[in-house]
Chain A
Amino acid sequence: MHTEAIDPPGITWLRVSPKYVTVRLAGWALGNLIVVGLLCVPLIVVLNGGWQSFPLWLAVAIPAVMLLLALWRLLLIPRQVRAIGYAEREDDLLIRRGIFFQRTLVVPYGRMQYVDIGAGPVERGLGLCTLKLHTASAGTNAEIPGLPAGEGARLREQLSARGEARLAGL
């Protein structure tokens, strides 16, 4: 992975588990295949002789375009997962994500209100979890998905301890 432009220099990022790709794939399949399947309905109807006024090329094009977009997103998933990173600094936690639209987030430990750990069915099956930090701002949206369960628990304890030590009001 090439060095990202907006990352602060001198940070060694911890990456999330490669198994998280599977979780994303499951989500991708659930979302996109249903959409493509629904968009195929006109095509099936037209091919079977119903709805004659509907142009065939359109019936083909709509699901085809969606399928292409979905496939493109599918190809991006492994890179997107590799782009997720986090780093614990002395006073704050850094979280980065994204390839095209990158975001590097700084959450001071003293600003954390609480830490969530959650796991969906696929994540649980793979022994992963998602860690979420909450500050007083709804815009923070600090999420580290695809952590191994042990690392998630360690990080939670670590963050809670550091948050307590540096606790500040609003």
Chain B
Amino acid sequence: MKPDAAPEASAGAEAGSPDGAWLRVHPASPFVRGWVALAAIGFFFFRDTFERMLRGGPLVDEQLAGRAPWLLGGGGVLLLLTVLGYILSWYFTRYQVAEGYVRLNTGFLFKQQRQARLDRVQAIDIVQPLLARIFGLAELKFEVADAGESAVRLAYLRMDDARQLRAAILARAAGVVPDPAHPGEAATEAPEHAVLTVPPRRLSGSLVLSEQSVFIVAGGVASVVLSALTENRSFYLFLIPAALGIAAAYWNSINRGYNFTAAISPDGIRLRYGLLDTQAQTLPPGRIQALRVSQPPLWRIFGWYRIQVNVAGYGAAGSDGESSSRTTLLPVGTFPEVLTMLSLVLPDPGTPDPVGIFRAGITGVAGPDEVPAGAGVPGTDDAGFVTTPRRARLLAPLGWRRNGFTATDTALLIRSGRWWRHLVVVPHQRTQSMALEQGPLARRFRVADLVLHTTAGPVSPRLIQAGLDEGRALLDAQAARARAARKRQTSEHWLDQVQALAAEPSSPGGSSITDEPNRQDDRQHG
């Protein structure tokens, strides 16, 4: 951190030096963002004239001759105002990265100044919608722990600038102090190492075998049967909008999940995906609050799994595809790939046999005969999962041997589901608060649910029907473990914690755009 980096109001500064200078986004960005509005205005007011020009007729309809100039003039004024608004909003949008903060000033009538601490970054995304991608532009989203909109969205920057800015922010957030002798290195992109890619064939296969496909087929069969039984053709009509919706949903999934690539770098986990709109996410180490490995029944044929995560900045997965794809760590992967991703998220699993414990968590089932009938002692399988006691098997006839938990030194593992298999992993230092819940029926069977509260997201960890004594013991033990883990983790600067990564040479893997020395730093330190 440089406390002496004075914010310089040099608006026209080189875009390649995001240090201390107030910069603007790319001039074309309002048009890329607002092209729909422009096109709509143009279409609305000038369609008639264009059509006439194409037909070679007179430019203005005789009947409208009196009003046409007004109409065209009004359209022109509206268009001009819109463009003027765009230009003003572009002119007044400026950002700065300095002194451990990223600052963003927007608005010309209602001014807004926003600053976010760099070391509070939860994730950085670079998003390229199709049109921006054509122009080589990208949007940078800076997420802090506020389960709403992005804290800072810079739309749009040149792709190279966006990447360099991301590298600079991440380096600062990691706690890299800019070296006066080699100022350029502060903004060097951390070298990354590709871990896995999801082939398109597997992606489409996973879509075909997904839950929604089952419902679609069932719905289709039902409507065909109904129309055959009642000899009423109108049931077919329902299929048309349904098919359109399904096609849109599938297209959305393919567009977002295509070419999914995961990589690891000292800055964290990098995810890239997208067919037309591409997105590159960076999740710094330790930012994942909770994780869920799940397997729909049909995916069992090929042994596929999905991983979803809670990240503080991403918020709850809404109905739109964007937030659900952002919270997906692995759209579809095999068991070894799941283990790979788990090892990235949880570098220290806190157990001597991580593979065995995760395998038991994902597929394991406690034996039915390990405890004598009626003893009421919860079963444990070989990996140490404590499951629902036998006395409560009526509450979950299928799942009671599966619903269970185990704790390693660094994380709590909760598994559930015989058909829909789920394994939830919550690192100890990420536990916010916990609650034991018990309804009348559960009290009858002397079991209770343990709920772990994490930040908003697709994963809501809940241990179902744990034995009462085990649940109470876990509540106490987990509180103690979380406390101990929080004490170990003191700094938000992850390089302070992972000194080994800081010692790694960072130049050879860096891309060429970052080799250029940082001029602002040169001036200040030289």
Q: Is the CB of B483 within 8 A of A139?
A: no
CB under 8 Å from chain A, chain B span 434-480 = 434-440, 443, 446, 448, 451, 453-456, 460, 468, 471-472, 475-476, 479
Residues of A within 8 A of B475 (CB): 8, 104, 106
Q: Say yes or no: is A169 at the interface (Cβ < 8 Å to chain B).
A: yes
Residues of B within 8 A of A91 (CB): 479, 483
Known contacts A104-B436, A107-B433, A138-B147; is A168 also within 8 Å of B468 by CB?
Answer: no
Known contacts A106-B475, A136-B312; is A101 also within 8 Å of B455 by CB?
Answer: no
Residues of A within 8 A of B287 (CB): 170
A-B contact pairs, 18 of them (CB 8 A): A6-B436, A6-B438, A9-B472, A91-B483, A100-B439, A104-B437, A104-B475, A106-B434, A106-B435, A108-B431, A108-B483, A110-B486, A137-B456, A138-B455, A140-B432, A140-B453, A168-B489, A170-B122
Chain B 476-504 against A: per-residue CB contact (8 Å), 1 yes, 0 no? 10010011001001001000000000000
Q: Say yes or no: is A88 at the interface (Cβ < 8 Å to chain B).
A: no
Most chain A beta-carbon neighbours within 10 Å: one of B434, B435, B439, B440 = B435
Q: Is the CB of A101 within 8 A of B440?
A: yes
Number of A interface residues, CB 8 Å? 28
Residues of B within 8 A of A5 (CB): 438, 443, 446, 448, 468
Q: Say yes or no: is B430 at the interface (Cβ < 8 Å to chain A).
A: yes
Residues of B within 8 A of A92 (CB): 479, 483
Kindly identify which residue among B433, B439, B468 contacts A101, using a CB–CB cutoff of 8 Å.
B439
Chain B: which residue is nearest A139 at the CB level? B453
Q: Say yes or no: is B289 at the interface (Cβ < 8 Å to chain A).
A: yes
Chain A: which residue is nearest B462 at the CB level? A139
Query: Which residues of B pack against A, CB within 8 Å?
Result: 122, 145, 147, 287, 289, 312, 429-440, 443, 446, 448, 451, 453-456, 460, 468, 471-472, 475-476, 479, 482-483, 486, 489, 492
Q: Say yes or no: is A144 at the interface (Cβ < 8 Å to chain B).
A: no
Known contacts A104-B435, A108-B482, A142-B433; is A170 also within 8 Å of B440 by CB?
Answer: no
Residues of B within 8 A of A142 (CB): 433
Taking the closest CB of chain B, its distance from the CB of A5, in whole angstroms, is 6
Taking the closest CB of chain A, its distance from the CB of B265, in whole angstroms, is 21
Kindly identify which residue among A6, A135, A137, A169 contacts B448, using a CB–CB cutoff of 8 Å.
A6
Q: Say yes or no: is A73 at the interface (Cβ < 8 Å to chain B).
A: no
Q: Is the CB of A6 within 8 A of B433?
A: no
Q: Is the CB of A106 within 8 A of B440?
A: no
Please report the C-alpha to C-alpha distance between residue A91 and residue B485 in the assembled complex, in whole angstroms.
Answer: 13
Given contacts A6-B468, A102-B439, A110-B486, 7 further A-B contacts (CB under 8 A): A5-B448, A92-B483, A104-B435, A105-B433, A108-B431, A137-B456, A142-B433
Q: Is the CB of A136 within 8 A of B483?
A: no
Question: Which 3 pairs show the lowest CB-CB distances between chains A and B?
Answer: A137-B453, A137-B432, A139-B453
Residues of A within 8 A of B482 (CB): 108
Q: Say yes or no: is A79 at the interface (Cβ < 8 Å to chain B).
A: no
Q: Is the CB of B453 within 8 A of A135?
A: yes
Chain A: which residue is nearest B287 at the CB level? A170
Q: Is the CB of B456 within 8 A of A170?
A: no
Residues of B within 8 A of A100 (CB): 439-440
Please report the C-alpha to C-alpha distance between residue A165 and residue B180 in the assembled complex, in whole angstroms.
Answer: 36
Residues of A within 8 A of B479 (CB): 91-92, 106, 108
Taking the closest CB of chain A, its distance from the CB of B121, in whole angstroms, is 11
Residues of B within 8 A of A105 (CB): 433-435
Residues of A within 8 A of B483 (CB): 91-92, 108, 110
Taking the closest CB of chain A, its distance from the CB of B137, in whole angstroms, is 31
Kindly identify which residue among B432, B436, B439 contacts A111, using a CB–CB cutoff of 8 Å.
B432
Residues of B within 8 A of A110 (CB): 483, 486
Taking the closest CB of chain B, its distance from the CB of A99, in whole angstroms, is 9
Known contacts A106-B479, A108-B433, A140-B433; is A6 also within 8 Å of B145 by CB?
Answer: no
Known contacts A105-B434, A106-B475; is A136 also within 8 Å of B145 by CB?
Answer: yes
Chain A: which residue is nearest B437 at the CB level? A103
Taking the closest CB of chain A, its distance from the CB of B284, in whole angstroms, is 12
Please report the C-alpha to C-alpha distance between residue A108 and residue B145 in the assembled complex, in whole angstroms.
Answer: 18
Known contacts A136-B312, A138-B456, A170-B455; is A103 also within 8 Å of B435 by CB?
Answer: yes
Please report the C-alpha to C-alpha distance between residue A162 and residue B483 in the assembled complex, in whole angstroms.
Answer: 14
Known contacts A5-B446, A108-B483; is A170 also within 8 Å of B438 by CB?
Answer: no
Q: Is the CB of B433 within 8 A of A106?
A: yes
CB under 8 Å from chain B, chain A span 136-168 = 136-140, 142, 166, 168
